[in-house]
């Protein structure tokens, strides 16, 4: 097959995405496919008469995630694409391919915009459709649906915009300590754990830089994640940050310990996997996804969010869980191609 791997994008998670995309592209070439790794925001300025000449069957793509969140303003200035989310000739390349493998994280890649665009052009792609992507990325909507499906999630308040009384609203509705996070970002971008009222305004101001904000009651517990592949739960991974919490740096700089299968009671394992499957269905997801949980001291499980395009970097949790289940990285990539809609 001719497969275009879409990565990058105008997203704070573009560095992670490009690393995932590189590994996916390499695995697909090893599986015998012709592949093009394409930054969906940068695009291709000059298209050859035959787009398939851009695809290749050998070679190696590489990219390394830096510690810093990327400077999107500098990217806009360099590419001269402004706020257009799809770069030149991206759709043409996707139409020439047999399949678009989505390796994007956050923003357009996971909020349904790209999926809806590809649907409009009749382009086949991996992962969930536009509706499931939208529902999972919007943390307020997803938590409402999870609650309706009987999947516990921490108490929260939704703040659609910055407001002068935001601190008071949070204190009255949630109290302290709490977790402040952008409503539509992934990879823990803009997330802060707030212990004191003095730090709350700073955390809210930072999160509002990314749009609407969600503030949750802080749950203390063990961090777990459950991958779903073709409707079935993978072995559970426990995430143990060496310092702080599972933030952007800890996720991608190898400063966490991951244990799979998680060393938790059998009943907690069964319950978490069942809740993950239930959440997967409630959010209308398809193909694959990863749902994050906290296991509190009393054995309660709390779903934090769902990730519709889980990371596929060297430190990513979804490939780790698949590997524990006996599915190699190459086999996993091939399975996702087979599940594409």
Q: What angle do CA 106, 110, 111 make, to 5 degrees?
A: 105
Catalytic residue among 128, 292, 329, 334: 292
Catalytic: which of 188, 250, 307, 316?
307
Alpha helices in the chain (DSSP H): 14-30, 72-79, 90-96, 107-110, 113-120, 130-137, 139-148, 166-173, 197-208, 248-252, 266-282, 317-324, 329-338
Active site annotation includes 307: yes
According to DSSP, the β-strands at 34-39 and 2-7 are parallel
Q: Is 274 known to be catalytic? A: no
* Greatest pairwise CA separation for the chain in angstroms: 63
Among this protein's residues, is 112 annotated catalytic? Answer: no
Among the options 11, 20, 133, 187, which is catalytic? 187
Of residues 8, 13, 61, 188, which has the active-site annotation?
13
Q: Note the Cα 67 to chain centre separation in Å.
A: 18
| 3-state class percentages of the chain: helix first, strand second, coil last, to nearest 5 | 35, 20, 40
Residue of 305, 316, 329, 334 with catalytic role: 305
Question: What would the two tokens of residue 123 be?
Answer: 């382009």
- Token pair recorded at residue 16: 């992670």
Q: Is 150 a catalytic residue?
A: no
**131 with 34: CB under 8 angstroms?**
no
Write down the catalytic residue from 252, 286, 288, 334.
252
Catalytic (active site) residue 252: yes
Give yes or no: 186 in active site. Answer: no
2 is catalytic: no
- Pairing type for strands 232-233 and 221-229 reads antiparallel
Angle of helix 197-208 relative to helix 166-173, nearest 10 degrees, comes to 120
Q: Give the span between the Cα atoms of 177 and 311, in whole angstroms.
A: 29
Q: How far, in Å, are 24, 99, 260, 296, 324 from residue 142 at the CA level?
A: 28, 28, 26, 21, 28
Nearest CA to 188 out of 5, 320, 7, 16 is that of: 16
Find the catalytic residue in 129, 133, 311, 329.
311
Confirm whether 187 is a catalytic residue.
yes
Catalytic residue positions, numbered: 13, 187, 252, 290, 292, 305, 307, 311
């Amino acid at each position: 097959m001719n497969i275009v791997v879409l990565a990058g994008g105008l997203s704070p998670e573009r560095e992670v995405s490009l690393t995932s995309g590189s590994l996916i592209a390499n695995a697909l070439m090893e599986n015998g496919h012709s592949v093009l790794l394409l930054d969906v925001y940068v695009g291709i300025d000059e298209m050859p008469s035959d787009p398939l000449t851009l695809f290749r069957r050998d070679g190696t793509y590489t990219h390394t995630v830096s510690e810093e969140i990327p400077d999107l303003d500098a990217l806009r200035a360099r590419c001269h694409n402004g706020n257009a989310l799809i770069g030149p000739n991206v759709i043409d390349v996707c139409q020439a391919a047999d399949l678009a493998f989505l390796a994007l994280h956050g923003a357009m890649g996971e909020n349904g915009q790209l999926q809806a665009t590809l649907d409009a052009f009749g382009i086949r792609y991996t992962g969930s459709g536009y509706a499931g992507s939208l529902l999972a990325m919007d943390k307020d909507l997803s938590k409402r649906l999870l609650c309706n499906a009987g999947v516990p999630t921490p108490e929260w308040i939704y703040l659609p915009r910055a407001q002068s009384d935001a601190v008071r609203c949070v204190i009255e509705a949630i109290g302290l300590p709490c977790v402040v996070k952008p409503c539509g970002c992934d990879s823990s971008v803009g997330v802060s754990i707030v212990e004191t009222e003095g730090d709350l305004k700073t955390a809210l101001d930072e999160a509002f830089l990314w749009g609407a904000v969600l503030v949750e009651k802080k749950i203390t517990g063990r961090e777990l994640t459950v991958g779903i592949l073709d409707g079935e739960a993978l072995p559970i991974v426990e995430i143990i940050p060496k310092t702080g919490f599972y933030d952007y740096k800890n996720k991608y700089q190898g400063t966490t310990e991951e244990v799979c299968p998680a060393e938790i009671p059998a009943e907690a394992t069964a319950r978490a996997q069942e809740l993950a499957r239930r959440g997967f269905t409630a959010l209308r997801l398809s193909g694959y996804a990863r749902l994050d949980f906290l296991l509190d001291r009393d054995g309660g499980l709390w779903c934090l969010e769902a990730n519709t395009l889980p990371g596929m970097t060297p430190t990513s949790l979804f490939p780790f869980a698949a590997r524990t289940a006996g599915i190699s990285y190459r086999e996993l990539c091939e399975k996702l191609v087979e599940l594409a809609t």
